[in-house]
């Protein structure tokens, strides 16, 4: 691997680590919500999760990141080699990125809003606890 390719690979790995850290912070907030969050904190936690989901999505679909992945894939001798660590990393990251690029940002930010209904658990039966817009998502 040339110096330029190694530098590019290092940048891609660093970007992927930062993106994974954002996602893991969001998952930790979700765990905390399910185990320790007081009922009144659900709406604020939904805002936090929505912000992190949007930042994570934005990091995945960053055009510069896509260009770097394409450039590195083009510079590899055999991008389909299962024994080449860089080739495997690039293939997996490209696949994950391609899936996320197809997802509109507004969708990635709307899913965590579902958490705000957690704060309404235990309310009187018969009261609407989730908006009809999200009910379609959960009920199929």
Dig out the tokens for 44 from the structure.
Answer: 């604020």
Tens-level pLDDT at each residue, the chain (140 residues): 788 889 999 999 999 999 999 999 999 988 888 888 887 888 888 888 888 988 999 999 999 999 999 999 888 877 777 778 888 999 999 999 999 888 776 666 555 554 444 444 554 444 445 555 555 555 54
CB 9 within 8 A of CB 1: yes
Dig out the tokens for 7 from the structure.
Answer: 């530098």
For 36: left if phi > 0, alpha if psi spans -120 to 50, otherwise beta; the answer is alpha
CB 9 within 8 A of CB 88: no
Using CA atoms, how far apart are residues 89 and 73, in angstroms rounded to an integer? 10
């Amino acid at each position: 691997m040339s110096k330029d390719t190694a530098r590019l690979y290092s940048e891609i790995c660093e970007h992927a680590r930062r993106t994974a850290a954002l996602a893991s912070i969001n998952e930790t907030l979700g765990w905390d919500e399910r185990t320790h969050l007081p009922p009144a904190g659900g709406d604020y936690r939904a805002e936090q999760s929505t912000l992190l989901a949007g930042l994570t999505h934005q990091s995945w679909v960053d055009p510069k990141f896509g260009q770097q992945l394409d450039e590195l894939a083009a510079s590899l001798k055999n991008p389909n080699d299962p024994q080449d660590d860089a080739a495997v990393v690039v293939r997996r990251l490209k696949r994950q990125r391609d899936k996320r690029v197809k997802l509109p940002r507004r969708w990635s930010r709307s899913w965590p809003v579902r958490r705000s209904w957690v704060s309404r658990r235990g309310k009187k039966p018969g009261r609407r606890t989730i908006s009809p817009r999200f009910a379609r998502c959960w009920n199929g």
